[in-house]
Chain A
Amino acid sequence: GNSVTQMEGPVTLSEEAFLTINCTYTATGYPSLFWYVQYPGEGLQLLLKATKADDKGSNKGFEATYRKETTSFHLEKGSVQVSDSAVYFCALRGSSNTGKLIFGQGTTLQVKP
């Protein structure tokens, strides 16, 4: 079945450091891929998405490229801020008609000043 694997956290970085959070997936067909973010005390929010191979999703300085050949959707940011501290979830939506999301286990990012 479909699944998503994320790198384990927590990830601790200094402000302005480069961020990579790895995400790989297993899916049949042509899934859509997402990154969601959960800030402390808040609900899940969509950060970015990509719906087909080689698409790049971007938002708030974050980017991720849909790589079908490596079944990956790694999240990157060139210079993190303290306000980026949150839990990040990689997710996929398969080819079924229901649109349900399958999430990875989440990666906690802590950015120190």
Chain B
Amino acid sequence: GAGVSQSPRYKVAKRGQDVALRCDPISGHVSLFWYQQALGQGPEFLTYFQNEAQLDKSGLPSDRFFAERPEGSVSTLKIQRTQQEDSAVYLCASSGLGGRLNEQFFGPGTRLTVL
């Protein structure tokens, strides 16, 4: 596709439910990032993939958060036993080689509301 796509765009979950958020990066982009954006705040880094390898997961807030990118393309962010504090917009971004020198292109985000 032309840009980064994310699905679903909106997700409402009851506290304790598991959710899965999908990211389709720009075709051929090696690097993929997940960010969490709380209301009225800037995005905060969660995790980074280079191809299928998860090279940095230092931003994941707890072991309830899990991300994967098994074939080096589509990525899924899973949140188990959701809590109200997980309510946020989850952004995915992709970039070309290495991620260090190239622009990150962001998707529209998934707005998660935990009731």
Contacts and interface: CB of A to CB of B under 8 A. Distances in A.
Interface of A: 4, 36, 42-46, 49, 89, 91, 93, 96-106
B43 interface: yes
Interface string B1-36: 000100000000000000000000000000101010
Interface of B: 4, 31, 33, 35, 40-45, 48, 55-56, 59, 91, 93, 95, 98-104, 106-109
Chain B interface main SS type: loop
Given A42-B108, A43-B107, A45-B106, A98 B56 contact: yes
Contact of B43 (A42, A99, A101): A101
Determine which residue in A36, A44, A99 has the highest number of CB atoms from chain B within 10 A of its CB, and name it.
Answer: A99
Contacts of A46: 103-104
Contacts of A44: 43, 91, 93, 106
A18 to B, nearest CB: 24
Contact of B104 (A99, A102, A106): A99
B109 A43 contact: yes
Contacts, number: 61
24 contacts: A43-B4, A43-B106, A43-B107, A43-B108, A43-B109, A44-B91, A46-B103, A46-B104, A49-B103, A89-B43, A96-B56, A97-B55, A97-B100, A98-B48, A98-B99, A99-B48, A99-B95, A99-B98, A99-B101, A100-B48, A100-B59, A101-B45, A102-B45, A103-B42
B55 to A, nearest CB: 6
B42 A99 contact: no
Contacts of B31: 99
